[in-house]
A and B are shown apart, each in its own frame.
Chain A
Amino acid sequence: MANRLVQQLRTPSIGKPDSSAATGEGESTLEALLNFQPYLTLLVPATITELILACKGWIDGKDNVAYTMEAQVLHIQNVTLHVESAPDREGPWLDAIAFTATTKTMVVLSSEGGSAKFSRFIRWRAEGDGANPWEICFRLKTMPGTTLDRAVQKPRVA
């Protein structure tokens, strides 16, 4: 049987979510960086002004106070990519961070302050400029907690 190197990192897809990984349950190490959105390329006509990640792919971070997100936007044209968070599936969805240019960056979405606000659910939304065809190629990785949390070894309680 062919083995992926790290079985617990199987990628959740929009149509087939990995609920345990998406909720941040189980292992919470640096290796648990979750491929929240694998590389996705969208070439969209102007008549479609908005695309939102299907709800099956949203992260439910009810047990976490922060998420570290690695965003890689390789190509973006006439569109804004929003990473949004909401306390409930029904909203209100607020921007945690938005991208309008190519970038590779790491941000911490936190419910304890900072500019990138995290409440409970996380999703992405691509919003075209309404006048032109738009294109984007990006991927998003997430990890429950912050890199600082993971860097500090916590003693186990027997």
Chain B
Amino acid sequence: MAGTTIELQPRIVIKCTMAGNTGEIQDVDGWVDTSRYRVATAISEVDMVDNCELDLEGCDVMGGAFMTHAAFTQALAAACVITLNRNAPYGAPEHLSNLMRWKIVASGNWTASFRITLVLK
């Protein structure tokens, strides 16, 4: 698969039993700037999502509203591959934004294990 490959998130396991925790958002230093690219292929390997939802999100400006490209509520037997395109209408899930990150939405005790790779062209 040609293009620039970057790990949006190397494989990670997060387990949370903290009372009142409603999830986690990827640290801003881990967000990927995709503004120079026309097409992105996001490959999500989701080993576990227990009592939570893993979202792959994009946004065009820092501080702006994020749109959800993909949401995972259960583990995947095979990697999920989605293609995002700059030319897709703004607001559509397949629209490639300028920034990409992951977010976990949860309630109660939760566990997530995943890895997300981006191929950018």
Interface residues of A (CB under 8 A from B): 1-6, 9-11, 35, 38-39, 41, 73-77, 102-104, 135, 137
Shortest distance from the beta carbon of B53 to any chain A beta carbon, whole Å? 17
Q: Report how many residues on chain B are interfacial, defined by Cβ distance under 8 Å.
A: 26
A135 to B29 alpha-carbon distance, docked (Å): 27
Interface stretch, picked from B9-17, B67-75, B77-85, B86-94, is B9-17
Q: Which residues of A contact B120 (CB under 8 A)?
A: 2
- The number of residue pairs between A and B whose CB atoms lie closer than 8 Å in the complex comes to 66
B26 nearest in chain A by CB position? A39
A27 to B49 alpha-carbon distance, docked (Å): 37
9 closest Cβ pairs, A-B complex: A9-B29, A102-B18, A74-B16, A41-B13, A2-B6, A137-B15, A75-B15, A3-B33, A75-B17
Task: Say which residue of B21, B28, B29, B37 sits within 8 Å of A10 (CB atoms).
Answer: B29
Q: Is B15 within 8 A of A135, CB to CB? A: yes
Q: Which residues of B contact A102 (CB under 8 A)?
A: 16-19, 21
Q: Is B99 within 8 A of A5, CB to CB? A: yes
Q: Is B4 within 8 A of A2, CB to CB? A: yes
Beta-carbon contacts under 8 Å, B48-66 to A: 62
A10 to B10 alpha-carbon distance, docked (Å): 13
Q: Is A35 within 8 A of B29, CB to CB? A: yes
Report if B30 contacts A (CB, 8 A).
yes
